[in-house]
Homo-oligomer: A and B are copies of this chain.
Amino acid sequence: MSLTAELGTSTAFDLGPARALSCRECGHETPLAAEFACTQCFGPLEVAYDFGTVTRASIEAGPRNIWRYRHLLPVPADVQEHPNTEPGLTRLIKADRLGAALGIRNLWIKDDTGNPTHSFKDRVVAVALAAARELGFKVLCCPSTGNLANAVAAAAARAGWDSVVLIPASLEQAKVLTTAVYGGTLLAVDGNYDDVNRLATELAAEHEDWAFVNVNVRPYYAEGSKTLGFEIAEQLGWRLPEQVVVPVASGSQLTKVDKGFAEFGKLGLVEPTPYKVFGAQATGCSPVAKAFAEGHDVITPVRPDTIARSLAIGNPADGPYVLDAVRRTGGAVEHVTDEEVVEGIRLLARTEGVFAETAGGVTVATTKKLVESGQLDPDAETVLLITGDGLKTLDAVSGQVGPTATVPASSAAVRNALADRD
């Protein structure tokens, strides 16, 4: 699990404000290294910081991407000097038409489809790559069936690193293409996603210079999601929203958005006003929503069965921390059916011109449900996270939308077709 011995001691690492790794369960601290589980209690490790002085002006003077927040991330101060991707500072758009449809007065969409490979994974992978370089790794790796594979292969290509991406051999051709085009090593594994994940852990232990972004450098990787929280606050004009709705897969993203808001408050970059964090899941993979509804602190794993494949993690590692953040802030976790997911995708596209992947449909449909059930305050300022692109999950809307009419090439035929429609 530990590569510290091979890769050098923590004092050799410049990971900016990162001071140590700290266990989220027992609080035990360990030097910065490629570790992800506490040697005392096997709890998950998280980055602990000593932040210097960070001001609005210093952030605003930075580049127009996540590296403007480099002094709040576990990356070297000179992170921009090394080739990497430049994700972030994606659109935060006022969503008045979607708001009207949902009955929410003051609604925003954080549209992360504008990232280099069109999902929020570019954020976490960019941070993982920067940290992995400093930790001495040479190869960027992951197991994935979609967005993460794209992001790892693209970031490694741009950095000039080798990459090793593991996918189930049964993956659809289109998803194979969108990773293979970047030219790294792409291994189709005979087995299901669980087999692929297990293989990744095995390979991470055997190859000392392979950084599996979501395994052996996970503590650094996960911090990249804080930038979603940072950007929302900065783009709102240096203040926090009152409510935020986040899709839940492993749960990491939700906890890091919360952490981002909290850090901005503690650093005095925003007024630490109260906010509520809501989680969104698909019914076919809703272990966190179930635990929330039943008042449990632990998650009972499920076997995923939903079209929202980017959220289909049946045993979410950060589930307990999601429950904690949601309960602490007064939010909730809800779930929606696959039919509602498709309706959510279509509603968002029709009202705001944003075409989201299935996870975005989950977020929109869950928000609708939360309003209808009175759990989300329709009068409070609300931000929805749209974290991936509809171009990658076309199957979800296939057969659901199509041409209004097929007409001969004459204006009279068009008039007739439109009259029939009205």
Residues of A within 8 A of B (CB): 64-65, 83, 85-86, 89, 91, 93, 96-97, 111, 113-118, 153-160, 167, 169, 173-174, 176-178, 180-183, 185-191, 195-196, 198-199, 202-203, 206, 345-346, 349-355, 389-392, 394, 397-398, 401-411, 414, 417-418, 421
**A401 engages B353 (CB within 8 Å):** no
Task: Please name all residues of chain B whose beta carbon is closer than 8 Å to the beta carbon of A354 when the two chains form the complex.
Answer: 116, 154, 158
Can you identify 28 A-B contacts, CB atoms within 8 angstroms? A91-B116, A113-B116, A113-B118, A116-B354, A117-B355, A155-B353, A157-B349, A157-B352, A157-B353, A158-B351, A174-B394, A177-B394, A177-B398, A178-B391, A180-B397, A181-B349, A181-B355, A182-B353, A185-B421, A186-B402, A187-B403, A187-B404, A187-B405, A189-B406, A190-B406, A203-B414, A391-B391, A391-B392
CB distance from A324 to the nearest CB of B (A): 34
**A178 engages B355 (CB within 8 Å):** yes
**Identical chains in the assembly:** 2
Task: Please name all residues of chain B whose beta carbon is closer than 8 Å to the beta carbon of A65 when the two chains form the complex.
Answer: 91
Given contacts A177-B394, A402-B180, contact A160 B411 (CB under 8 A): no
CB distance from A109 to the nearest CB of B (A): 10
Given contacts A187-B407, A409-B195, A421-B185, contact A177 B353 (CB under 8 A): no
**A158 engages B352 (CB within 8 Å):** yes
**A390 engages B353 (CB within 8 Å):** no
**A414 engages B199 (CB within 8 Å):** yes
A188 CA / B413 CA spacing, docked (Å): 11
**B182 engages A349 (CB within 8 Å):** yes
A178 CA / B159 CA spacing, docked (Å): 31
Contact of A181 (CB < 8 Å), options: B158, B346, B418: B346
Given contacts A206-B411, A355-B178, contact A158 B404 (CB under 8 A): no
A389 CA / B156 CA spacing, docked (Å): 19
A236 CA / B306 CA spacing, docked (Å): 45
Closest B-chain residue to A392, C-beta based? B391
**A181 engages B114 (CB within 8 Å):** no
Task: Please name all residues of chain B whose beta carbon is closer than 8 Å to the beta carbon of A118 when the two chains form the complex.
Answer: 113, 118, 389, 391
**B409 engages A198 (CB within 8 Å):** yes
